[in-house]
A and B are shown apart, each in its own frame.
Chain A
Amino acid sequence: MFTTLIRVIIIYLVVLALVRLMGKRQIGELQPFELVIMLIFADLATIPMTDSSVPLLLGIIPLVTLVLLQYFLSLVSRKSIFFQNLINGKPVIVIGPNGIIYQNLKALNMSIDDLQEALRGCNVSNFDEVQYAIIETNGKMSVILKKANSPVTNEDMNIQVTENTFPITLVDDGKYNKENLELAKVDNNFISSILSKQNIKSIKDVLVLNIDNNGKIYLQTKKGNCKSIQIDFNGGNNW
C-alpha cells in the first residue's frame, strides 16, 4: 500500500508538471490532437499507479513521449500553415452574409438543429441576426452579429471613456502579496495608512484589497461589507 501511495504521488506530480508544460490551452480549449493526448494521458497515468509490477519508468516514459510529441506537433503546426490545417483542421464558416452555407454544414455533419443549438449557446436565437457563424478548430462556434443586432458601444454613441484598468491584489486573506506590492511600487505603510483610515486595526482582518491603475481600491474585511475607495495613486501604468 505504501508503494502505491508513493507511486501515485510521483505519477501525479509528473502528470501535473507535464500538463503545465503543455500550456493553459489544454485545460480549456482543446485542439483535436491535444484532446487525443489528454485522453491517452488519463489512461496511461493510472496503470503504473496501482500495478506495482509495472516499473514507474514504464509509466513515465510514454507520458513524456506524448508531451514531446505534442510539443513537436504544436511547433510544426505553428511554423507551417499546411501542417496547421492538416493537424488542427480549418475554421469553417457555416453562416455567411447570404445565409446558411449548406455544403459546409454537410461537411461538418451538422444538422440545422445542431446549428440552432450552437447559436443559442452564443445567445443568438434567430439566423437573421447573424452575419457570420464560424465553427472553430476546437469545435466551438464564434458568431459575428449583423451591425443592426450588435450591442450599442460607447464609440457608436460618441461617449468619451477612460480605458479599463487591471486591478491587482495587494492583500489576500490577511497576507501581503509582496510580488504585487513591488509591481504597484507601494509598501506595507501604504496599506496600513489605507486600513487606518477605514478603522481597520490589523491586516489580518482584511479578506481582500485590490487596487487598479487609477487608484480605485476594492476593500473587504473578513467580517464586514465591501467598500470602494478612490485615492490619489501615482502607480498608474505600472503593470
Chain B
Amino acid sequence: MNKVIFFIILLIALLGVTIGEQLYIDKTTNTMLAQIHSMQATIVNNQNQLNSDEVLDAFYDLRDYWESREGTMAFFVDHKNISNVGQCIVRLRAALEENDFTLSKTEIYLMHEVTYVFKKLSTFSIHNIF
C-alpha cells in the first residue's frame, strides 16, 4: 500500500479515536450529571423513607447507567480517574439502605462533584492543555 495513503488512514483513525472519545465522555458525563440531579431530587423528596422502592429503583438506574459506561470509558481514560464515581455509588447504596439522609446527601453531592471534575479534566479545553 502506498505509504502516503497508509499515513492518511492512520491520521483519520487517530482523529476518529480521539474525537470519538471526547464525544463519548461528554455525552456520558452529561447524562450521568442529569441522573445525579434527578437522584438528588428523589432523595430530598423521600428523605423520611430512603430505603423505599422508589428511591432504590432510581439508585439502581443511576448505578446501572454508570456501570454500563464505565467499561467502555476504561478504554480511553485512566482507571484511577473513574474509580471515584464507583466508590461514591457504593457508599450511597449503603447510606440509602441505612436510611441515612445526611450521608446520602453528602454522597450524592460528592458523586456530582467527582463526575463534574472528571468531565472537566477529561474533555478538551485550553485549561486542560496547560
Contacts and interface: CB of A to CB of B under 8 A. Distances in A.
Interface in B52-81: 74-80
Interface in B1-24: 3, 6-7, 10-11, 13-14, 17-18, 21
A57 B79 contact: no
Contact of A55 (B3, B14, B74): B74
A65 B15 CA distance: 10
B75 A57 contact: yes
B76 A58 contact: yes
A61 B18 contact: yes
Given A61-B14, A65-B14, A71 B7 contact: yes
Main DSSP-derived SS at the B contact region: helix
Interface residues of A, number: 13
A27 interface: no
Nearest to B77: A55
A68 B75 contact: no
Contacts of A54: 78
Nearest to A51: B78
B14 A57 contact: no
Contacts of B17: 57, 61
B7 A53 contact: no
Contact of A57 (B3, B11, B76): B76
A21 B10 CA distance: 11
B76 A68 contact: no
Interface in A70-114: 71
Nearest to A65: B14
A67 B21 CA distance: 21
Contacts of B10: 64, 67-68
A58 B17 CA distance: 11
Contacts of A68: 7, 10-11, 14
Interface string A35-72: 00000000000000000111101100100110110010
Contacts of A61: 14, 17-18
A55 B75 contact: yes
A54 B77 CA distance: 7
A55 B80 contact: no
Nearest to A52: B79
A110 to B, nearest CB: 37
Contacts of A65: 14
Contact of B78 (A21, A58, A64, A71): A58
B75 to A, nearest CB: 6
18 contacts: A21-B3, A21-B6, A21-B7, A52-B79, A53-B78, A53-B79, A53-B80, A54-B78, A55-B75, A55-B77, A55-B79, A57-B75, A61-B18, A64-B10, A64-B13, A67-B10, A68-B10, A68-B14
Interface of A: 21, 52-55, 57-58, 61, 64-65, 67-68, 71
Given A55-B74, A57-B21, 4 more contacts: A21-B6, A53-B78, A53-B79, A54-B78
